[in-house]
Each structure stands twice: as C-alpha cells, then as structure tokens.
C-alpha cells in the first residue's frame, strides 16, 4: 500500500514538473514563438570575421534583431561578385516597421536618409554584431548588385576598423610616393641659401634703420597724444562758450519779438501794395506813368 502511494506521489511530481516546464517555455519563449520578424539582407565587400548566426542586430546600442544567415552571395544568387550575404531578422516594432507597410518605396526612403548596416566589434573578445545606423549616404554608397534580392535589401557600410585600415593604407601609400631624399636635399639647399643671404646682407644697417623707424613711430605717437589731450582740454570751454552764445541769442529773440512781428507785418503790407501796383501797371500803364488825364474843356469855357 505504501509503495503504491509512493508511485502516485512520484507520478504527480513528474506531471507537475512537466507542466511547470511547459508553462515556463510558453511564457518565456512567447516573444520568440509568436512573433513574426521582418527578414532583411545586406551584402559586404569585406570580412565579417566575428559575426555569427545568432549575433545581435543593434541600433545605437539597442537590440532590434539577430543574424539568421551568413553565406556568400554566389551561393544564393547567380553572380560572380565575391560579396558576403548576411540575412537578419528585425523585430516588428523596430523603426516602427509593419509588414504591410514595409514596401520598396518606404525602405528606399529610409535608405536615402542614410540607413546602413555595418559590423562592429564587441569589446576585446573578437566577437562582432551587426550595427544599424543612419550615416552619410555620399560617404557610404551602396554596392552594385546584378541580381534581384529575395528579401528587402539594406546597403552596408564599411566597419570602423576597415575605414581606419583604409585610411592608414592611403597615408602609407602617399608617404611611399614622396621622395624623402629629394625633399631633404631641397631643405638643405634652402637653408644654405638663407645662410648666404644673411651673410651678404648688412644686418647692422638694417637693425639701425629699424631702430630709427621705431623712434619715429614713438615720436609721432607722442605728438598725437599731446594733440588729443589739448583738444580734450579746450573742448569743455568751447562748449560752454557756445552754450552762452545760444542763450544770448535766445534772449535777444525773446526781447525783440514785438519789433520783429511789427516789421514782418509792415513787410506784408508793403508786399500787398507792390502787388496791387504791379497789377494796375499791367492793366493801365499810361495811367501809372502820366497820372489821370486833364479835365475836358468845352467851347466858351475858360481853360
């Protein structure tokens, strides 16, 4: 009876444990089991060392997906280009992407804004992840492809390490093209020419002329300073005198205001008289010159 009870407890324990495991898988893996990621692909014309299937895809440090396939482009498409093909799955809410809205036009608009993916190292462990970001489209052009991608295509950009290596290679190549021996020889010849010029030039005379020029500049500066100080000293007195003159002129105008008004009135009357005389002379010139005609004399009357 006790052995049967023990079997019952063991079976109940196994069933409970299995139920807990199934529930845990459903709860913890619901994001993986019930999500529908958006698969995209990109091509790299460089090494992707350190990038593996399952490596995260991040946007400015935030994980938005993971790598699903890494292979050569020739294994998926009929091409002779030696590109590395990387397919990655993005979460549906990454960049507010929706499956029904992820069309060629929308993706092309984001690519024009500079959307690119590139490999980035994760610390010093040698592993890498895929980084998505908006970069300068002119400095990161798209690779030329001669096939139609099966999934939405996002252009790639060179990794920071690759760009640094290319810059160093360009610098070294430029240094190799410089004729250092000829450059040093030209510098030596230039130094010798400068030394010869210094020997042939009368440095004492140049120094003396320079000293005289500085003395003349100091003298001119002193004269200007004295002139400015003199003008500054006389300026308050001149302003006071001008103010006094203006006050006197104002007092004179106030005291003579009645006479000025009377004079202006006389000038106005004289102007009216001259205008009347001018009009009369224009109408009766003889009357103006000879006055009124003599009185008429009738026969039998004394003049």
pLDDT, tens digit (0-9, with 9 covering 90-100), for 11-31: 777 787 778 877 666 655 555
Tens digit of pLDDT for each residue in 138-197? 888 889 999 999 998 999 988 876 666 666 667 777 767 776 777 787 787 788 777 776
Q: For 97-106, 209-218, 257-266, which range has the lowest pLDDT when averaged over its residues? A: 97-106
Residue 269 lies in a domain: no
The answer as to whether 199 is a domain residue is no
Distance from C-alpha of 204 to C-alpha of 217, rounded to nearest angstrom? 20
Which range among 164-178, 202-216, 254-268, 283-297 shows the weakest confidence by mean pLDDT? 283-297
Residue 140 lies in a domain: yes
How far is Cα of residue 274 from the mean position of the Cα atoms in its chain? 76
Query: What is the structure's pLDDT at 100?
Result: 45
Range in 193-197, 224-228, 241-245 the model is least confident about? 193-197
Residue 60 lies in a domain: yes
Number of domains in the chain: 1
The pTM (predicted TM-score) of the whole model is 0.48
Question: Domain containing 151: what range?
Answer: 32-158
Give the DSSP letter string of 86-100.
EEEEE-TTGGG--TT
**Quick check: is 147 in a domain?**
yes
Looking at the domain assignment, is residue 52 inside a domain?
yes
The rounded distance, in Å, linking the Cα atoms of 294 and 285 is 17
Calpha distance 157→116 (Å, rounded) = 6
Residue 121 lies in a domain: yes
Please choose, from the candidates 167, 76, 95, 86, the residue with its C-alpha nearest in 3D space to the C-alpha of residue 129: 86
How confident is the model at residue 20, as a pLDDT?
Answer: 81
The burial class, CB within 10 Å (0-12 / 13-18 / 19+), for 102 is middle
Q: Per the domain annotation, does 174 fall within a domain?
A: no
Please state, in angstroms and rounded to a whole number, the distance separating the CA atoms of residues 77 and 153: 14
**What is the per-residue pLDDT for 107?**
78
Q: What confidence score (pLDDT) does residue 27 get?
A: 57
């Amino acid at each position: 009876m006790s052995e049967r009870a023990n079997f019952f407890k063991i079976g109940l324990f196994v069933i409970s444990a299995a139920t807990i495991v199934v529930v845990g898988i459903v709860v913890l893996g619901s994001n993986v089991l019930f999500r529908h990621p958006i698969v995209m692909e990109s091509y790299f014309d460089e090494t992707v060392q350190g990038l593996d299937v399952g490596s995260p895809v991040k946007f400015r440090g935030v994980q938005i997906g993971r790598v699903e396939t890494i292979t050569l482009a020739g294994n998926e498409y009929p091409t002779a280009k030696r590109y590395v093909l990387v397919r990655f799955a993005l979460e549906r809410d990454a960049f507010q992407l929706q499956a029904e809205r992820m069309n060629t036009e929308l993706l092309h608009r984001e690519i024009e804004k500079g959307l690119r993916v590139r490999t980035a190292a994760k610390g010093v462990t040698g592993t890498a992840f895929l980084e998505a970001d908006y970069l300068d489209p002119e400095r990161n052009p798209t690779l030329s492809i001669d096939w139609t991608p099966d999934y939405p295509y996002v252009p790639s950009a060179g990794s920071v390490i690759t760009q640094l290596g290319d810059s160093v290679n360009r610098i070294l190549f430029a240094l190799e093209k410089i004729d250092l021996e000829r450059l040093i020889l030209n510098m030596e010849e230039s130094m010798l020419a400068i030394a010869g010029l210094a020997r042939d030039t009368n440095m004492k005379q140049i120094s003396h002329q320079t000293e005289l020029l500085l003395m003349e500049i100091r003298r001119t500066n002193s004269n200007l300073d004295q002139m400015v100080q003199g003008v500054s000293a006389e300026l308050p007195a001149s302003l006071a005198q001008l103010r006094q003159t203006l006050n006197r002129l104002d007092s004179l105008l106030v005291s003579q205001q009645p006479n000025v008004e009377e004079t202006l009135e006389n000038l106005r009357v004289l102007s009216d008289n001259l205008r009347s005389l001018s009009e009369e002379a224009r109408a009766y010139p003889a009357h103006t010159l000879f006055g009124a005609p003599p009185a008429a004399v009738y026969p039998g009357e004394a003049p």
